[in-house]
C-alpha cells in the first residue's frame, strides 16, 4: 500500500508532465477504487496519507483556463474519500469544512461547463454488453453530490440557510447529470450503474426533516433579501427528486413536521401534524410564491412552462440528441411546444417557430457540410459557389431557399447517397416533402387568401406532431438521430 501512495503522490505532484505522455487511463480507475473503499471503510489510520494525496492532486486554478478533467476527477475522488473519513471520525471539524469548500468549488467549476461526464457512456452493440468504464464515469457526479450533501450540513450548522438549501438542490442536480444521458440495462453488473442509484443515495445523505428545518429558518429569517422565485423552483425540483428516490427505492413516504404548518384546534392548543415531504414542499413552494411581486410571479410561471416544454422534448422525443441541436433551434422548439399544449394560444405561431428551428438546424447540420462537399466535388469554380451562396440569401425564407437550391439539386442527392447510405431516401425525399408541407402551411398562415385560407388548428397540430414525433417517428427527431449517427 505504501508504494501505491508514493506512486500516486508522485503522479499528482508532476501531473502536467505525466499527462503529456497520454498514458493515464489507469489513474481514474485507481482513484475510483480508493474512494469507494474509504466510503465503506473510513479508516482513520490513513488520514495523513489521504491528506497528502489530496494536496498533491489539487488543481492550480488559473482564470479562463480549461479544466484538466482527469486531474479534477482524481482530486475530487481522493478529496471526497478524505472528507468521508474526516466526517466519520471528527464530525464537522474545521479541517472538514475547509476541505469540503475547496472540493465544492472544483465540482461547481465542472458543473458550470457541463463536464461531469466528458464523453458519452455507451454499450457496444447489444444493450446487455457491460462496459466497465460506466461505473468509473458515473462515479464523478455521485462524488460531487456527496460533496454538496456534506456542504449542506456545514451551511446548516453555520446558520447559512439559503446557502444550505442551494447545496441540497446542487446535490440532486449533479445526480441528474449522472443518469440523464443514456438508458441503461436493468441487469447491470454494478450497483452504481443502476439508473436511479445516485438520486436514492442523495435522499439518504440529506434527511428530509433537515431540509424542512432549513426552509423554516430561511422563511422566518430577515437577514438580507431572498430570491423567492428561485427558491420556489427549488422546492418543486426537490419534491420531484425525493419522489423519484422513494418510488425507485420502493420505500414508504417521507414524513416530516414543520412549525410553519400547524393546526389550530377549536378551544385547544395548536399542534404540528405529520405531513408527507411532497405535501410540505408543495406548501413551501406556495409560501415562496406569496412573497413574489405580480411581475415576478408571471416570470416564474413562464420559466416553469419553458422548463416543462424542454423536459418533454428532451425526455420523450430527442433524448441524447437534444443537446446537439443549436441553442436557437432548441429555443424555437420550446416556444412551439408551449403553444401546442396551450389550446387557447396563437397556434399560427407554431408554424413559424417550427420553421425557424428547422432553418437553424439545417443551416448547421446539412447546408454547411454539403456546401463544403459541393465545393470540393461538384463546384470546382469558387465563383460558382459564391453565386450559389448569393442565391440562397437573395429573397424568401431560408427554408424555401434550402428547398430550391439544395434539396432539389442532383448534387444533394449524390451527397446524401455518398454519406448517409440507408438514410439517403429519408434525406433526399421524405425530409424535403415534409419541409415543403411545413412551408406551405406557414405561408398560408402569414398570407391567407380565398384560395389559400389560414390553416386550421388541426392542420397546425398535425404538422407539429409529424415533425416532433407524436404518434410517429418524427421528421425532426429522426433527422437529429441520422445526423448524429445514433
Write out pLDDT tens, residues 123-150: 344 344 344 555 677 788 889 999 999 9
Domain for residue 206, yes or no? yes
- Among 239-248, 263-272, 422-431, the minimum mean pLDDT is found in 263-272
Greater confidence (354 vs 178) lies with 354
Domain for residue 32, yes or no? yes
Q: Is the pLDDT of residue 200 over 70?
A: yes
Domain for residue 270, yes or no? no
Domain for residue 121, yes or no? yes
Dist. CA 379–CA 262, nearest whole Å? 77
Q: Is the pLDDT of residue 151 over 50?
A: yes
Greater confidence (230 vs 189) lies with 230
pLDDT at site 198:
80
Q: Where are the beta strands (DSSP E) in 268-360?
A: 270-271, 275-276
Domain for residue 277, yes or no? no
pLDDT at site 293:
79
Segment 296-315 shows an average pLDDT of 84
**Pairing label, strands 263-264, 270-271:** antiparallel
pLDDT at site 186:
31
pLDDT at site 217:
93
Q: Sort 370 into a burial class: Cβ within 10 Å, 0-12 / 13-18 / 19+.
A: buried
- Are 117 and 177 in contact, with CB atoms under 8 Å apart? yes
Read off the pLDDT band of 210 (50, 70, 90): very high
pLDDT at site 299:
81
Three-class SS state of 255: strand
Q: Do 228 and 83 reside in the same domain of the chain? A: yes
Q: Do 373 and 303 reside in the same domain of the chain? A: no
Dist. CA 173–CA 233, nearest whole Å? 13
**pTM recorded for the entire structure:** 0.66
Q: Is the pLDDT of residue 424 over 90?
A: no
Q: Assign 3-class secondary structure to 417-444.
A: HHHHHHHHHHHHHHHHHHHHHHHHHHHH
User: CA-CA distances (angstroms) from residue 449 to 107, 443, 463?
Assistant: 58, 10, 20
Percent over 70 (pLDDT), the chain: 81
Domain for residue 141, yes or no? yes
Q: Is the pLDDT of residue 463 over 90?
A: yes
Q: Is the pLDDT of residue 352 over 80?
A: yes
pLDDT at site 114:
56
Q: Do 108 and 138 reside in the same domain of the chain? A: yes
Greater confidence (440 vs 198) lies with 440
Domain for residue 255, yes or no? no
Give the total number of structural domains in the chain. Answer: 2
Q: Do 191 and 156 reside in the same domain of the chain? A: yes
Read off the pLDDT band of 345 (50, 70, 90): low
Q: Do 226 and 333 reside in the same domain of the chain? A: no
Q: Do 96 and 223 reside in the same domain of the chain? A: yes
Segment 433-460 shows an average pLDDT of 90
Q: Is the pLDDT of residue 101 over 90?
A: yes
Q: Is the pLDDT of residue 467 over 90?
A: yes
Q: Do 307 and 326 reside in the same domain of the chain? A: no
Domain for residue 276, yes or no? no
Q: Do 143 and 291 reside in the same domain of the chain? A: yes
Q: Do 357 and 434 reside in the same domain of the chain? A: yes
Q: What contacts 308, CB < 8 A, 6 or more positions away?
A: none
Residue 158 lies in domain: 2-249+283-311
pLDDT at site 50:
93
Q: Do 302 and 334 reside in the same domain of the chain? A: no
Q: In this predicted model, what pLDDT tens digit does every residue of 263-287 receive, in sequence order?
A: 766 766 667 778 889 999 999 998 9
- Are 210 and 257 in contact, with CB atoms under 8 Å apart? no
Three-class SS state of 264: strand
Greater confidence (423 vs 66) lies with 423
Read off the pLDDT band of 111 (50, 70, 90): confident
Amino acid at each position: 500500500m505504501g508504494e501505491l501512495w508514493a506512486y500516486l503522490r508522485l503522479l499528482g505532484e508532476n501531473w502536467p508532465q505525466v499527462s503529456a505522455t497520454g498514458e493515464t487511463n489507469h489513474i481514474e480507475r485507481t482513484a475510483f477504487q480508493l474512494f469507494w473503499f474509504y466510503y465503506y471503510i473510513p479508516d482513520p489510520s490513513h488520514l495523513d496519507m489521504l491528506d497528502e494525496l489530496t494536496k498533491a492532486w489539487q488543481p492550480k486554478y488559473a482564470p479562463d483556463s480549461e479544466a484538466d478533467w482527469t486531474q479534477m476527477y482524481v482530486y475530487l475522488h481522493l478529496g471526497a474519500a478524505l472528507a468521508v473519513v474526516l466526517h466519520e471520525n471528527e464530525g464537522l471539524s474545521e479541517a472538514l469544512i475547509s476541505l469540503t469548500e475547496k472540493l465544492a468549488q472544483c465540482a461547481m467549476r465542472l458543473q458550470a461547463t457541463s463536464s461531469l461526464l466528458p464523453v458519452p457512456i455507451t454499450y457496444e452493440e447489444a444493450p446487455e454488453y457491460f462496459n466497465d468504464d460506466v461505473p468509473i464515469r458515473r462515479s464523478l457526479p455521485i462524488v460531487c453530490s456527496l460533496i454538496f450533501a456534506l456542504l449542506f450540513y456545514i451551511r446548516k450548522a453555520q446558520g447559512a440557510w439559503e446557502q444550505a438549501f442551494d447545496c441540497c438542490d446542487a446535490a440532486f442536480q449533479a445526480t441528474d447529470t449522472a443518469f440523464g444521458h443514456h438508458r441503461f440495462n436493468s441487469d447491470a453488473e454494478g450497483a452504481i450503474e443502476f439508473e436511479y442509484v445516485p438520486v436514492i443515495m442523495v435522499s439518504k445523505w440529506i434527511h428530509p426533516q433537515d431540509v424542512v428545518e432549513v426552509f423554516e429558518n430561511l422563511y422566518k429569517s430577515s437577514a438580507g433579501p431572498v430570491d423567492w422565485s428561485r427558491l420556489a423552483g427549488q422546492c418543486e425540483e426537490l419534491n420531484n427528486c425525493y419522489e423519484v428516490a422513494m418510488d425507485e427505492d420502493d420505500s414508504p413516504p417521507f414524513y416530516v413536521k414543520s412549525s410553519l404548518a400547524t393546526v389550530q384546534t377549536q378551544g385547544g392548543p395548536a399542534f404540528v401534524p405529520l405531513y408527507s415531504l411532497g405535501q410540505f414542499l408543495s406548501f413551501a413552494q406556495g409560501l415562496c410564491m406569496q412573497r413574489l411581486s405580480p411581475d415576478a410571479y408571471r416570470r416564474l410561471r413562464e420559466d416553469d412552462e419553458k422548463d416543462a416544454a424542454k423536459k418533454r422534448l428532451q425526455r420523450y422525443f430527442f433524448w441524447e440528441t437534444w443537446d446537439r441541436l443549436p441553442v436557437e433551434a432548441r429555443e424555437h422548439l420550446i416556444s412551439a411546444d408551449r403553444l401546442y399544449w396551450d389550446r387557447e394560444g396563437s397556434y399560427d405561431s407554431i408554424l413559424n417557430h417550427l420553421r425557424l428551428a428547422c432553418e437553424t438546424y439545417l443551416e448547421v447540420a446539412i447546408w454547411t457540410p454539403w456546401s463544403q462537399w459541393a465545393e470540393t466535388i461538384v463546384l470546382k469554380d469558387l465563383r460558382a459557389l459564391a453565386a450559389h451562396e448569393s442565391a440562397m440569401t437573395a429573397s424568401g425564407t431560408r427554408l424555401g431557399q434550402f428547398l430550391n437550391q439544395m434539396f432539389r439539386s442532383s448534387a444533394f442527392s449524390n451527397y446524401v447517397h455518398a454519406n448517409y447510405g440507408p438514410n439517403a431516401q429519408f434525406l433526399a425525399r421524405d425530409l424535403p416533402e415534409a419541409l415543403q408541407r411545413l412551408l406551405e402551411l406557414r405561408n398560408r398562415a402569414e398570407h391567407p387568401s380565398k384560395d389559400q385560407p389560414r390553416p386550421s388548428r388541426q392542420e397546425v397540430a398535425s404538422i407539429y406532431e409529424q415533425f416532433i414525433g407524436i404518434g410517429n417517428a418524427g421528421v425532426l427527431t429522426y433527422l437529429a438521430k441520422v445526423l448524429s449517427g445514433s
